[in-house]
Structure 1
Amino acid sequence: MSTILADFLVRTPEGYYCPYGDFYIDALQPVSQVVVSHAHGDHASPGHQQIFATAMTAAFMQHRYSSQPASSYQLKAFKEEFTLGGVAITFIPAGHILGSAQILMTYKGVKYLYTGDYKMQEDSTCEPLEIAQADVLITECTFADPSVEHPDPVAEIKKLQGRNSNIMLGTYALGKAQRLTALLNQHCPELRVLVHHGIMPFHKIYDSQLSEKMTYERYNRREMKQGEANKVYLVPPMTFNSYIRAKNVLRAFASGWKRLQSQNDISLYISDHVDWKDILQYIADVQPREIWTLHGDGRILQAYFENKLSVRDILEK
């Protein structure tokens, strides 16, 4: 059995670094070579010399970071193997947002799987999560806590029905907003979806890729004030927070975090991350020899697998 290298991927001030391939993953400071799991701002940033990403991740990044030279993007398809410094790399769908990828790295016979952010729940707006077995699972731990169980998203979105009031729905602009629009279209077709101007460009990029187009309208103040109270207005977090005293609307924010529900009129627990049960199921599917944790607190996971499986935080350089 090949030896796992404890320092194969380490945390540095720039980002997660692989010294054996001389590249970074999801670096947030400019580096020469970065492999990007997905286009959310806590994983994708500008200023790098070469960016290896899926086509959709690059499309979202090009919209957000227009000054980044187009020639710096090295587009790779899912399942297309490429090599950096002797490390073979493959993108595997992560099910988080459109274009999101797990990063499978193989070096000297050992497979290291960096999940990025991922989810197992069904989502018609992005590629579904796929399983890849690996020796080392490098997993996010956003909700790695037995007290967290994400409810059925269909049951959650149906909470918005029959409210006799327009709803202001806070959502992240990329990924979550498009998933919510699709859920509303599919399960609450009587509700009209109005979209904030900051979210519209991502809706348009999604629609260029989806086989079933979403139904939505650009926000119009007059529409919110007139006619039937059957509208859901999708707004990004900063706008949602600035409208804390908004009148004649019900407030909701789509998130897995309990702290983001307490001040709202409607709780809406819709998350794009794995919960405790899902992360345990995924570990069983991947069958790793070791687990390295990041993006959250891995101590509960470590305690759960004590004396059964090696679980530790990713090392710092």
Structure 2
Amino acid sequence: MILDDFIVATKTGLFCRYGDFYLDPKEIVKDAVISHAHGDHAIGGNLNVYCTETTSLFMKHRYKKFAAGEFHLKGYHEHFTLNGVKISFIPAGHILGSAMILMEYQGVKYLYTGDYKLQPDKTCEPIEFVQADVLITETTFADPNTRHPVAEEEILKLNGTQSNIMLGAYALGKCQRLISLMNDHCPEKRILVHHSMMPFVKIYEQNGINMGKYEMYDRKVMKNTPANMVYMVPPMVFRSYFRAINVIRVFATGWKHLQNNSEIQLYVSDHADWNDIIYTIDQVKPTEVWTNHGDGKQLKEHFANSLVVKLLT
């Protein structure tokens, strides 16, 4: 029997009351099961953190000695138990080391997606599907009007100009994916990377990911090279350099409102769009869908006559 209160949304995060642990907590807790290392899912300071090894490496870089009291590293499909709840990590395809979290309790399977994507990405493990009774899915882009274009086609837009480009992207996941895409599809571009992004790039390489060619940003190189340079910067730097001259400003994101001031609109998202969510539900074959991280109202309407959809947040 599905327990309606197996996962409860609280101000601290998603709480598994039967296992007495949190999924991707927003505040420090005793036991945290972490899906991936983005800052809105993995904070520092939790006493016990259960995650993949790669996720721990990103967290240790970001939070240093305050990353966790103790890390409990688990491989994909490796089972462990917290207070009677059987848990395993399933590749989520979001960023390197990202995982969906499969929980089994009293014969019922609950699958928490964290963030996930279905598009191919050479820089992280591809998503895998498992069946579950309850799918707890992110709904960041759960809108029938949202369709993410093919990233390999989007990146070709950068070949439409020889002007130097300032390319804004998230430092973890998006940065590495874009470097790989540009190496594959924009061979004339010379890629310079902001220093704050480099440690994450190096962790990718240490874990066997071939990034292709890139260089640490050098102001003199950028100034003295008038064409075909791409300077990758994190969002805060991108926003602070709004008066940068002699560059075309581009920000890689799936959000339309963040493209308003970009001279080239680059729609590259690391999340599932509407079709991907529907496909995931078809693959997981849940009896119920619980939504999180976004608005699940349109999913609820879509499945009104065929599937129970509950909005956790």
TM-score (normalised: structure 2) = 0.98
* Paired position in structure 2 for 1:294: 292
Asked if residue 13 in structure 1 is aligned to residue 11 in structure 2, the reply is yes
How far apart, in 2, do the equivalents of 1:244 and 1:238 lie? 10
8 Å CA contact 2:134, 2:286 repeated in 1: yes
Residue deviations 1:52-111 (CA, integer Å, cap 9, x gap): 000000000000111226661000000000000000000000000000000000000000
Give 3-state SS (helix, strand or coil) of 2:136's partner: strand
Q: 1:148 aligns with which of 143, 146, 149?
A: 146
8 Å CA contact 1:81, 1:89 repeated in 2: yes
How far apart, in 2, do the equivalents of 1:210 and 1:193 lie? 20
Residue deviations 1:253-312 (CA, integer Å, cap 9, x gap): 000000011111000000000001111011000000000001000000000000210001
Identity %: 58
* Paired position in structure 1 for 2:203: 205
8 Å CA contact 1:207, 1:214 repeated in 2: no
How far apart, in 2, do the equivalents of 1:276 and 1:193 lie? 32
1:1-317 to 2 correspondences below 5 Å: 3-68=1-66, 72-314=70-312
Give 3-state SS (helix, strand or coil) of 1:67's partner: helix
How far apart, in 1, do the equivalents of 2:78 and 2:212 lie? 29
How far apart, in 1, do the equivalents of 2:291 and 2:160 lie? 42
* One-letter code aligned to 1:82: F
Residue deviations 1:186-205 (CA, integer Å, cap 9, x gap): 11111111000111110011
Give 3-state SS (helix, strand or coil) of 2:265's partner: strand
Give 3-state SS (helix, strand or coil) of 1:197's partner: coil
Gaps of 5+ in 1: none
Which aligned segments of 4 or more residues in structure 1 are displaced greater than 6 angstroms? Answer: none
Residue deviations 1:113-161 (CA, integer Å, cap 9, x gap): 0000000000000000000100000000000001110001011001001
Change (3 A) 1:100 1:141: same
How far apart, in 2, do the equivalents of 1:69 and 1:57 lie? 11
* One-letter code aligned to 1:80: E
Count matched residues: 313
* One-letter code aligned to 1:186: D
How far apart, in 2, do the equivalents of 1:283 and 1:69 lie? 34
Gaps of 5+ in 2: none
Change (3 A) 1:266 1:132: same
Give 3-state SS (helix, strand or coil) of 2:225's partner: coil
8 Å CA contact 2:45, 2:68 repeated in 1: no
* One-letter code aligned to 1:56: T
